[in-house]
Amino acid sequence: MDRISELEGFIEAKKRCHMIGIGGVSMSPLAKVLHDRGIPVTGSDMTESETVLDLRGQGIPVHIGHASENVLGAAYVIRTAAARDDNPEVEYARDNGIPVFERAEAWGCIMRHYKNALCISGTHGKTTTTSMCTHILLAAQADPTVMIGGTLPLLHAGYRVGRGDTIVLESCEYYNSFLSFSPTIAVILDVDADHLDFFKDLEDVKKSFRAFASLVPSYTGTVIANADDKNTMDAIDGLRRRIVTFGLSTEADIRARNIETKNGVSEFDVIYKMKPYCHVKLNVPGMHNVKNALAAAASAIVLGISGEAIARGLEAFHGAVRRFEYKGEVNGARVYDDYSHHPSELKALLDTVRTITDGRVILAFQPHTYSRTKALFDDFVRELRRADKVYLAEIYAARETNTIGISSADLAKRVPGAVFCPTFDELAENLRRDAAPGDVILTVGAGNIYTVCDRIVEK
């Protein structure tokens, strides 16, 4: 019996599950999906959070801190990718013959029961594109099951359990977790050098995405790829699968034509087989979101969804939580919060902001992980220098310890005028004092800097 079939047996028998790292962006919706199916679920996480409180509110017990006694009574364990083999709960489970499954294996098990498994991958843009696909599928009344690595206002959550024949999942390459999936449609938005604490280099990242694309069935599956991204096209070069491309270039199978942008709103025609398929009004700014919308439209076209539903779904999309999310004002300055944590994402964010303001851009950035900060240090410096004023919070450790000896103070030394703020209190006070009418303030990072945004916005 393979691991996925073994896990399926536990789920079908409604055996108790313990989840390590249950507060994570893809673990928490998985916990809710299992709980909704009547499976007893417990969990553990390192810190208290709104997500943990929400899980408890739905009747899922969550322990803070990892300890062997948390696993008592569980028939099997599902762990986040960040939970290593020396985690005390993992060690206890294995010492006592309790099977330990990866989070991705659990999603891979669940998606086997759907006719269409739409898996959205890419180094950047996964949450937004998965959210766009969700809007389109709901507009088409497809009643999908959904797993998103963030909160979608339409759902008031990051997941949805539907009764239709389609499941759509945000699919992450970290630790090759998406290689446990069973996509019938595999979307690759872009391929970039990231997660270099796991991947050796860019070529290793490309290899992972090629393996992901190879998971689609040879004759009935489809790979949807970004024709404008050289790394993506390199990754799938020569792959013997049906490939549909999207992009702004004329070579793309599905592309945008007649793009017009005004006040952060883009309108364009989606062209398929050399003919207009639908006209899109997109209410999220930036050319990167035009490309994300094209990827979502391509997914819908492959699924046989009408142009009318694509247009309605995309027009109704106003962004996911922490994706250039407008939070309010302070001293007349507009405040936005964003999840960007890679130099390419910072570039797209700053490009977008410059299209909506002629005023100062004040960037408060919290780097995410020591390894990423070191590996991409010069790229971060290049992008941070584009803001008019930069404040840097200390690096968010996430799954790491600082064996490198690196700090955000090192970035501040390389960015003219940048200010390093070792505490959030100091950062919030600086932002309040500096804010002026016409400014745009950005709180940016994949850690907990969003709490600073919430502090400074005037209620």
Q: Which residues are part of the catalytic machinery? A: 126-127, 170
Which contiguous run of DSSP H or E holds residue 384? helix 377-384
Strand locations in 238-313 (E):
242-247, 254-262, 265-272, 275-282
Q: CA 298 → CA 268, 307, 398, distances in Å?
A: 14, 11, 34
Rounded CA-CA distance 130/417 in Å is 37
Beta-carbon count within 10 A of 399 CB? 15
Longest CA span, the chain: 64
Give the pairing type, strands 76-79 and 100-102: parallel
CB proximity list for 203: less than 8 A, separation 6 or greater: none
Angle at 367 between CA 412 and CA 344, to 5 degrees: 100
- Residue 295's Cβ-side half-sphere holds a number of Cα atoms within 13 Å equal to 34
Residue 152 CA to residue 159 CA, distance in Å, equals: 8
Beta strands of 114-218 (E only): which ranges?
A: 116-121, 145-152, 157-160, 166-170, 185-188
Strands 76-79 and 62-64: unpaired
Strand boundaries in 183-226, DSSP class E: 185-188, 222-226
Q: Residue 97: is it exposed, middle or buried by C-beta count within 10 angstroms (0-12/13-18/19+)?
A: exposed
Report yes or no: 227 and 245 within 8 Å, Cβ to Cβ.
yes
Beta-carbon contacts of 219 under 8 Å, excluding residues fewer than 6 positions away, are: none
Contacts 24+ apart (CB under 8 A), 94-102: 96/71, 98/71, 98/74, 99/6, 99/7, 99/10, 100/76, 101/3, 101/7, 101/76, 101/77, 102/78, 102/175, 102/177, 102/180
Q: Could you tell me the CA-to-CA distances from 314 to 149, 292, 321 in Å, in that order? A: 19, 10, 16
